[in-house]
Amino acid sequence: QVQLVESGGGLVKPGGSLRLSCEASGFTFNDFYMSWIRQAPGKGLEWVAYISFYGTTIDYAGSVMGRFTISRDNAKNSLYLQMNSLRAEDTAVYYCANERGGWLDSWGQGTLVTVSS
Amino acid sequence: EIVMTQSPATLSVSPGERATLSCRASQSVISNLAWYQQKPGQAPRRLIYGASTRATGIPARFSGSGSGTEFSLTISSLQSEDFAVYYCQQYNKWPRTFGQGTKVEIK
């Protein structure tokens, strides 16, 4: 069955960096756009970034533009999110998900990123 | 960006009753709307896409309707496992945006 497993979260100081990973299995990875979505504690969902099948199309939410970079390695069935210049407001659970035409089909269990001094 | 507004924020319903949740878009999203269910401590789960198409494995008691700017999700007879937070999401334009959620709680 489809499985998405995020890793790489943790505690980081403001201004620091983290790289999140999402390992996919159970489906043909390069047949799907992939996305990162986040959820601040007790809050709603925010789409962070998405990437097309081979990485030719990428877009970001305005709140992370210029600080975060989404990428993928289809040979490793993996999705990444490089997060730089982290701020307190980036504290959230980060989910990866595969996308079908704009809606999110399968989701990982999430990884918590905490930005605090 | 397109703002999605859900109402009510909280809906108190007895098991077996019908629940209707609303979602309004600040501009037309045609039928490019999805609904998700999220239980505490879990990732969201997709329910509906294309405003009215149930995703694989979703029970028939869940139905979606609407187009343009007004949408609804109906749960025909609430089961214990349906008490959760529900989010709508438009995918007509980037950035994809979610509503703030409706919590369906036990009355």
**The token pair that represents A105 in the structure block:** 């089909």
Q: How far apart are CA A70 and CA B1, in angstroms?
A: 21
- Over the stretch B70-95, which tens digit does the pLDDT of each residue have? 999 999 999 999 999 999 999 999 89
| Vertex B39: Cα angle to A18 and B72 (nearest 5) | 110
- In chain A, the residue whose alpha carbon lies closest to the alpha carbon of B56 is A105
pLDDT one-digit tens code per residue, A2-55 = 999 999 999 999 999 999 999 999 999 999 999 999 999 999 999 999 999 999
**Half-sphere exposure for B14 (CA within 13 Å, toward CB):** 2
Is B46–A50 a contact, with Cβ atoms under 8 angstroms apart?
no
Separation of first and last alpha carbons in chain A: 40
Amino acid at A75: A
What residue spans of B3-65 are helical by DSSP H?
Answer: none
Beta-carbon count within 10 A of A20 CB: 24
Gap between the Cα atoms of B50 and B64, Å rounded: 9
Tell me: the pLDDT tens digits for B21-50? 999 999 999 999 999 999 999 999 999 999
Please state the separation of Cα B30 from the chain's center in Å.
Answer: 16
Measure A10 CA to nearest chain B CA, in Å.
17
Structure tokens at B66: 């609407």
